[in-house]
Amino acid sequence: MIRSVVRGFGAALPKRVLSNRELESMVETSDEWIVQRTGIRQRYIAGEGETTASLGADAARAALANAGLSAEDVDLIICATSTPDNTFPATAVNIQNRLGITHGFAFDVQAVCSGFVYAVATADLYIRGGMAKRVLVIGAETFSRILDWTDRTTCVLFGDGAGAIVLEAQEGQGGLADRGILTSQLRSDGSHKEKLYVDGGPSTTGTVGHLRMEGREVFKHAVGMITDVIEQSFEATGISAADVDWLVPHQANKRIIDGSAKKLGIPPEKVVVTVDQHGNTSAASIPLALATAAADGRIKRGDLVLLEAMGGGFTWGAVLLRW
């Protein structure tokens, strides 16, 4: 059977680092509060000329180089983002143009912080359905541009960046020893809209709007939703938490990550954490964390890797794959 195998990975971050200390001069907050409540120590902020598409294209180039491929070898580009360069065309098409190709097709996926998990699951279906052989799956965001920088309850949490992987169709045996995606589990429930949303849009206000969040409410639902889809992934495959080599969670908050890992019985040394360095970069956070842990040699070929995310909508999901 056809499996969607990770052939390469890459990441891109803006030049500018914004520390918690610097934030202290912008809103009434403290490094201590931010670290204690979230685990975040710094985040990257896009400057002039740095956009979701430029960061996404840089991450895509890095992933192609890591895979030993060129843009010519790719037939589909999926970009997960909630902060597109323009309302349309899709950021993925913008990235396709920046990569200098006109063949194949490209589109965006919008599932906020779960966007990368949704995009990977979508790419896997295109590959297994025979519509694509190599897919660039990108998570790219510039959340700094939709933050209300006077609202200390949200502006300290988010950052900008992009990550990408190349998924390739490869022949597998159909068993759990195969490399590639073994299962994807996706969920959403729109009744939670008011807890995490942007208060603008083309069809309502005609403006871009700002991110609004009831942090405590989001927190309350996060661990349960995340662990539910992970347990569904275990049920679908017969894999158990003890078999997992690496949990690569969405990087929203260290306490959510720790709480989820503890509930699942996954020890901290198997959890990839980058939220301290990147803040919450929404759809970019998982591919950024994947690229970090693969580049430093933690994630190795053959490792069982569990991705999970939960975000605005609410949307949530998990992907279990062998690297």
**Which residues would be at the binding site for ligand ACO (CB under 6 A)?**
29, 33, 37-38, 113, 152-153, 156-157, 196, 213, 215-216, 218-219, 222, 250, 252-253, 280, 310-311
Which of residues 126 and 316 has its CB atom nearest to ligand ACO in the complex? 316
Among the listed residues 192, 250, 253, 278, the single catalytic one is 250
| DSSP 8-state symbol, 245 | S
Q: How far is the CB of 80 from ligand ACO (least distance, A)?
A: 13
Rounded least distance, CB 34 to ligand ACO, Å: 6
**Strand pairing category for 16-19 and 42-45:** antiparallel
CB nearer ligand ACO, residue 213 or residue 288: 213
Per annotation, catalytic residue among 20, 94, 253, 280:
280
Catalytic: 103?
A: no
Say how far apart CA 233 and CA 266 lie, in whole Å.
15
- Catalytic option among 113, 192, 210, 253: 113
CA 183/CA 296 separation, integer angstroms: 26
In the bound state with ligand ACO, the residue whose beta carbon lies nearer, of 35 and 208, is 35
**Whole-number minimum distance, CB 263 to ligand ACO, in Å?**
15
Cα four-point dihedral sign 139, 144, 148, 150:
positive
Residue 295 vs residues 9, 41, 120, 291: alpha-carbon distances, Å? 9, 21, 20, 6
Whether 280 sits among the annotated catalytic residues: the reply is yes
Residue, CB closest to ligand ACO: 215
Q: DSSP assignment, residue 271? A: B
Nearer to ligand ACO, 5 or 225 (CB): 225
Beta bridge partners of 165: 9, 137
Burial group, residue 47, by CB count within 10 angstroms (0-12, 13-18, 19+)? exposed
Question: For residues 81 and 143, what is the distance between their CA atoms, to the nearest angstrom?
Answer: 10
- Least distance between ligand ACO and beta carbon 261 (Å): 15
Q: Which alpha helices (H) appear in the chain, and where do they start and end? A: 20-24, 31-38, 52-67, 91-98, 115-128, 152-155, 215-237, 254-264, 275-278, 285-295
CB of 47 to ligand ACO, least distance (A): 23
- Residue among 246 and 316 whose Cβ is closer to ligand ACO: 316
Residue carrying the six token digits 């759809």: 283
SS3 at position 277: helix
155 is catalytic: no
C-alpha span between 316 and 189 (Å, rounded): 9
Closer CB to ligand ACO, 157 or 165, in the complex: 157
CA 248 and chain centroid, separation: 10
| Cβ proximity to ligand ACO, 170 vs 188, nearer residue | 188
- CB of residue 105 to ligand ACO, shortest distance in Å: 29
Residue carrying the six token digits 């999901």: 317
Q: Are 162 and 11 a contacting pair, CB within 8 Å?
A: yes
Neighbours of 151 (CB within 10 A): 14
Minimum CB–partner distance for residue 231 and ligand ACO (Å): 18
- Residue numbers annotated as active site: 113, 250, 280
